[in-house]
Structures are given as C-alpha cells and as structure tokens.
Amino acid sequence: MNTISKMIIPLFVLFVIFYGYRKKIMIYDTFLEGAKEGLITVFHIFPAILAMVFAINIFLNSHLLEKIFSLFIPFFNKINIPVEILPMAFVRPISGTASLAIMNTIFANFGPDSFVGRLASTIQGCTDTTIYVLALYFGSIKINKTRYALTTGLFADLIGIIASFIIVHLIF
C-alpha cells in the first residue's frame, strides 16, 4: 500500500506533462500561468490561516479543554472509554498538529498496539481538521455565510469517532 501511494505522484506528474505534450499545448507557459494563480490563492488564504492559528493557539494553551475533561473522568471510566482518548477526540477537528502530538504521547505511554493506541490511530486516520479546513476553503473564496457546513462536518466527525471506538473493539 505504501509503495503504491509513493508512486502515485511521480506517475501523475509524468502523465499530465506527457498528455499536455501530446496535445501540443505550451506546457511551460501554461505551468507558469497556473503557478501565478497558485501564488494568488496563497495570498488569499493567508489571512484565514493566520486568524485560525491565532484563535486555536490561545484556546489550546488555556488548557480549558483539560479542565472540562477532568469533570467527566468518572463517567467515562464507568462506560469503559479510556480517558486518554478524550482530548484527542476533541482537538482532532480543530488542529491536525495538536492531535498528532496527543497521539504521539499515547503511543509513547501505551504503545501503538494497545487499545488506546489503535483507537487513536483510527480516529486520526478517519477524520480531518474540519474547522481548519472550513476556514481555509471558505476563506479562500471570501464566503462568510457558511450555512449548515460546520455542524454537518462536526456531526460526521462525531459519528466517525464513535464508529472508531466500536470498530476497534470489534476487529482487534
């Protein structure tokens, strides 16, 4: 699986360039034209990224989430959900690097083949940083009325996290 995914990019680039060459378009000039558009895109998404990183950093560094979790520890112990996974499940939609850091700690403390380790891996693999992605994608085209996008995305994340828990229980 890993070798296949490593070959995809080179093969894709080869194919695109070759196809453009065969169709006799000015590949070099077209590339430059597209690259210039890419530069403009980056210029457009920059404020959205900066704004989100700013807010997320302040929020995560306040350790408010940990405080809230500590209230629920007895409850989660009762229904047999490992407490270690909670911060990760909550941070996952906000920040990819933060949830990766939590997964790192879980691996270091419990090992990747433990129940929590497998659960963390599955959650990290099955969901994405919904809030960050929405800010980035909508910010790039200057849309501020996002309607039901955020709640639907977060609902999908929640189902993914619950499903991860059940699936890891069942198949390992």
Partner 1 sequence: MINKLWGFFIIAGISFTLLFGEFSGLNDTILNSATDGVKMIMDLLPIIVLWSGIMKIAENSGLLYKIGNLVRPLLSKLFPSLKKDSKALGYITSNIVANAMGLGSAATPFGLKAMEEMQKENKNKEEASDAMITFLVLNTSGVTIVPTTVIALRMMYHSQNPEEIIISAILATLCSSIAGLSLDYIRRRKKK
Return the number of the residue (8 or 79) whose C-beta is nearest partner 1. 8
Q: Which of residues 4-33 bind partner 1 (CB under 8 A)?
A: 4-5, 8-9, 13, 15-17, 19-20, 23, 25, 27, 30-33
Q: Which of residues 106-165 bind partner 1 (CB under 8 A)?
A: 107-108, 111-113, 117-118, 121-131, 133-138, 140-153, 155-157, 159-160, 163-164
Stretch that binds partner 1, among 74-82, 83-91, 102-110 (CB under 8 A): 102-110
Q: Which of residues 32-51 bind partner 1 (CB under 8 A)?
A: 32-35, 37-39, 41-42, 45-46, 49-51
Distance CA 106, CA 144 (A): 37
- Smallest CA-to-CA distance from 127 within 165, 74, 170 is with 165
Distance CA 161, CA 94 (A): 14
Q: Which two tokens stand for residue 33?
A: 């034209």
Give CA separation, 66 vs 52, 86, 146, in Å.
Answer: 20, 9, 29
Q: Which of 11, 55, 70, 77 binds partner 1 (CB under 8 A)?
A: 55
8 Å CB contact between 46 and 56: no
Distance CA 28, CA 17 (A): 10
How many residues line the site for partner 1 (CB under 8 A)?
98
- Smallest CA-to-CA distance from 118 within 69, 167, 66 is with 167
Return the number of the residue (77 or 152) whose C-beta is nearest partner 1. 152
Q: Does 73 bind partner 1 (CB under 8 A)?
A: no
